[in-house]
Amino acid sequence: MDGRDENQAAYFSESLARGLSVLRAFDRDFPRLRIRDVAERTGLNRAAARRFLLTLRDLGYVGCDNGFFFLRPRILDLGYSYLVSTDIRGLTQPLLDELAETTGEATTLAVLDGMDALILARACKRKFDLAIGSGSRLPLHRTALGHVLLAALPPAKLDVFLRKAPELANASAASKETLRRRLKTVRQQDYACVEGLLNSQLVAVAVPIRNRDGQVVAALNVTSYDTPLKPAIISKKFLKPLSATKLQIEAAIRSSDAIPLNGEEFGDRTNTLR
C-alpha cells in the first residue's frame, strides 16, 4: 500500500496522485520534457505519462511544442488559490519588507512542500539578488531555510528524504551523515547558518516559525553576499532582527483565522516522505 494505512487506502486516488506527480516533474532545471522524460522522472509508464500530459494540455496547464511539453501560466492558478485562501502574503509581506530594510539584505519566508522549500514571500533591498520569488522552490539540503525545515522532521520522514531526494541520489553515506549532524546542530541552536551551498558567495541564516502548538510550520531567512561567517557577526547582523520578525510572524499566524494553525495544513506537506 506504499506506506498508506487502511483508512487512506479507502479514499486515496492513485490517478490524482499520478497526475500531480506529472506536474511536479517540471522544474527550473527541466522546464521542457518529452513523454519519456516525464515517465522516467515520475516512475509512470510511457502510456500513462502520455495520457496525463495530454489531459493536462487539454485543461490548459501544459503546452506542447515539437514533442516537448512545458508548463503554461495557468498552472499559477493552483498556487495562487492557496496564497489567497490563507492570506499569508498579506500578513507577512510588510514584516519581510521591514526586515529587509533593517538588514539591507534579502529575506524569505518558505514552507516545506514535498522535497523542496516553497517560497511564500520575499523582500530584498540590495541591487543584486537571486532570481527567485513567491512560488519558487529551493533545495532543502543546500539552503538555510531547508535545514530549518528538515531539522523539524520526525526521524522517519528525515530518513525517507535522505533516501528519496533526487539531488541526494548519488550522495555518499558520509555526506548524508554530515547533513544529519548539521541538522542536529540546527535543532540544538534553533537556527541554521549556511555558506556557499546554493551559491559560492551566498551566506544565509534562517530561523523556524512555529504555530501555537510549537510545531515548525515555516522558515524565515536573511541572505547576504559579503558577510563573514562568524558567530558574533551573524548574531549582531542577522539573528537579532530575524528573531524579532519571527515573533511578529508567529503572533500573526496565531491570531489570524485566515492562516491554518497546524503543521499538517500549513507547511507540513510531506506526503511524499513516506
pLDDT digit string, tens, across residues 240-267: 999 999 999 998 877 765 444 333 433 4
The string over 244-260, giving b where at least 16 C-beta atoms fall within 10 Å of a residue's C-beta and e elsewhere, is ebbebbbebbeeeeebb
Q: Which of 268, 182, 156 is nearest to 219 (CA)?
A: 268
Domain 6-71 has CATH 3.90.550.10: no
In percent, the amount of the chain with pLDDT more than 90 equals 43
Which pairs with CB-CB distance under 8 Å and at least 24 residues apart come from 153-162? 153/112, 153/270, 153/273, 157/270, 157/273, 158/183, 160/273, 160/274, 161/115, 161/273
Element of type H or E holding 3: none
pLDDT digit string, tens, across residues 122-176: 998 876 556 676 778 888 998 999 999 999 999 999 999 998 888 888 888 898 9
Domains 6-71 and 80-269 share a fold: no
Q: 505519462: which residue's cell?
A: 49
Evaluate if residue 96 carries a pLDDT over 50: yes
Position 129, amino acid: D
C-alpha cell at 202: 551566498
Residues 25 and 33: their CA atoms lie apart, in Å, by 8
Per-residue pLDDT at 268: 44
Residue 173, CA distances (Å) to 143, 155, 177, 178, 195 in order: 20, 17, 6, 9, 22
C-alpha cell at 214: 510549537
pLDDT digit string, tens, across residues 1-34: 455 556 666 778 888 889 999 999 998 889 999 9
Position 251, amino acid: A
Residues 243 and 251: their CA atoms lie apart, in Å, by 12
Under the banding of pLDDT at 50, 70 and 90, the label for residue 188 is very high
Q: In the chain, what are the domain boundaries? A: 6-71, 80-269
Average pLDDT for 74-87: 65
Element of type H or E holding 190: none
Residue 215: count other Cβ atoms within 10 Å of its Cβ. 17
Superfamily (CATH) of domain 80-269: GAF domain (3.30.450.40)
Residue 92: count other Cβ atoms within 10 Å of its Cβ. 23
Q: DSSP letter string over 198-220?
A: SSTT-EEEEEEEE-TTS-EEEEE
